[in-house]
């Protein structure tokens, strides 16, 4: 008999499992807490359960859906985890410690989580798209990234960002279910305000997510202020427009009350002009929001397409000028540092590459 991965089960699923096996309903709550609050490493450690139930769980389920194949540590403290899935496919996650100004202590730990093996979106600035789409990750595979990294580093993750491999809203049901487990009052993970989901702009799914019980913070991978340039660097945007995306973003803010984050990579001479700064500031004023200006990281190792090869990063001094222009026009701006460039773990670099 093929075992199932138990972390694909939320609390309702565990209730049904207990009902189907003629087990008292309250045991579902105990199983849930052993899995997600205590994060036990073996079924025989589920001490709140009788031995017979522990044996049944061990017979029917596997506790872990992926395993660490390799990890690489950066000089900045970040760690890239290469995970092997049960079918042999590979995904990556990135552990990012944020230090205090004096670098004496870690203030928070963020994990960049993947939702797909590969990605179908093929953004010109992102190496992951060169892998193509392989499959969606299951709920268990999403959750296990967090649990296994916590076990490995010996520290609790304080924030997660769905910014790893894949477009989260194209794996909507599994991502939604994982978020519901992460934010459940009986689990020991995160509040919804400690979770950020990044999307290129799947408008109907943005609206659908806004209507869920515990919607996370939303980040839009914007990178352009005109439809023409955006369609060149994000092929999927040919199916939508900036106006329709902004309508969905406004709906999300009105429903959730949470400010929006825009992600924007400045490309030299292409989307970093004064007019871009004006348009971007106008976008930022529509609902409470900010823009993160992110440096364009090298993806030449992944053999990018012709458009990607023609994209050049805006120099750091010009990014500062561009950011100041956006501020002058009334927008809120953060210029982001980059984690893990020396281990190909920075934004846009996740493509299973290892030059070490």
> CATH code at 241?
3.20.20.70
Q: Is 150 an active-site residue?
A: no
Q: Is 107 found in the same domain as 17?
A: no
Count of the separate structural domains present in the chain: 2
Q: Is 265 found in the same domain as 150?
A: yes
The DSSP symbol for 267 reads B
Domain assignment present for 336: yes
pLDDT in tens, 266-303: 999 999 999 999 999 999 999 999 999 998 877 766 65
Domain assignment present for 350: no
Q: Is 70 found in the same domain as 57?
A: no
Quick check: helix, strand or coil at residue 236? Answer: helix
pTM of the model: 0.94
Mean pLDDT of the chain: 92
Catalytic residue of the set 34, 92, 122, 263: 92
Is 51 a residue whose pLDDT tops 90? yes
Catalytic residue of the set 119, 123, 126, 347: 347
What's the pLDDT at 304? 47
Its domain, for residue 32, covers: 4-62
DSSP assignment of 285-348, as one string? TTSSEEEEE------GGG---HHHHH--BPPHHHHHHHHHHHHHTT--EEE---S-GGGT-STT
Q: Is 72 found in the same domain as 36?
A: no
pLDDT in tens, 123-157: 989 888 888 999 999 999 999 999 999 999 999 99
Q: Is 88 found in the same domain as 179?
A: yes
Q: Is 107 found in the same domain as 250?
A: yes
Domain assignment present for 354: no
Q: Which CATH number is 8's domain given?
A: 1.10.150.530
Is 48 a residue whose pLDDT tops 60? yes
What's the pLDDT at 101? 67
Share of the chain above pLDDT 90, in %: 80
Q: Is 45 found in the same domain as 142?
A: no
* CA 115 to each of CA 90, 199, 267, 283, 338: distance values in angstroms, whole numbers, following the listed order: 12, 12, 27, 28, 21
Q: Is 92 an active-site residue?
A: yes
Domain assignment present for 37: yes
Q: Is 188 found in the same domain as 132?
A: yes
């Amino acid at each position: 008999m093929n075992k199932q991965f138990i972390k694909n089960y939320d609390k309702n699923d565990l209730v049904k499992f207990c009902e189907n096996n003629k087990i008292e309903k309250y045991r579902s709550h105990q199983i849930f807490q052993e899995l997600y609050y205590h994060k036990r490493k073996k079924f025989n450690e589920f001490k709140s359960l009788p031995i017979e139930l522990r044996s049944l769980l061990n017979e029917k389920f596997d506790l872990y859906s992926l395993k660490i194949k390799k990890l690489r540590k950066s000089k900045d403290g970040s760690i890239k985890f290469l995970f092997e899935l049960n079918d042999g496919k590979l995904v990556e996650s990135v552990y990012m410690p944020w230090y205090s100004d004096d670098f004496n202590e870690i203030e928070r730990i963020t994990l960049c989580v993947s939702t797909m093996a590969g990605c179908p979106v093929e953004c010109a600035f992102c190496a992951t798209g060169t892998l193509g789409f392989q499959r969606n990750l299951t709920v268990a595979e999403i959750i296990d990234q967090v649990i296994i990294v916590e076990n490995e580093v010996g520290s609790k993750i304080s924030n997660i960002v769905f910014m790893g491999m894949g477009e989260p809203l194209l794996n909507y049901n599994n991502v939604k279910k994982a978020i519901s487990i992460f934010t459940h009052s009986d689990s020991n993970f995160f509040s919804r305000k400690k979770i950020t989901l990044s999307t290129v702009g799947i408008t109907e799914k943005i609206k659908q997510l806004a209507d869920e019980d515990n919607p996370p913070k939303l980040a839009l991978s914007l990178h352009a202020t005109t439809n023409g340039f955006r369609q060149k660097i994000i092929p999927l945007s040919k199916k939508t427009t900036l106006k329709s995306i902004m309508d969905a973003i406004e709906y999300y803010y009105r429903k959730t009350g949470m400010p929006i984050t825009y992600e924007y990579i400045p490309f030299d001479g292409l989307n970093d002009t004064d007019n871009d700064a004006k348009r971007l500031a106008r976008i930022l004023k529509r609902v409470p929001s900010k823009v993160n200006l992110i440096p364009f990281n090298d993806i030449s190792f992944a053999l990018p397409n012709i458009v990607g090869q023609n994209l050049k990063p805006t120099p750091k001094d010009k990014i500062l000028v561009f950011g100041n222009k956006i501020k002058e026009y009334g927008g809120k701006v953060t210029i982001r540092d980059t984690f893990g460039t020396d281990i190909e773990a920075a934004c846009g670099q996740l493509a299973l590459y290892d030059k070490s």
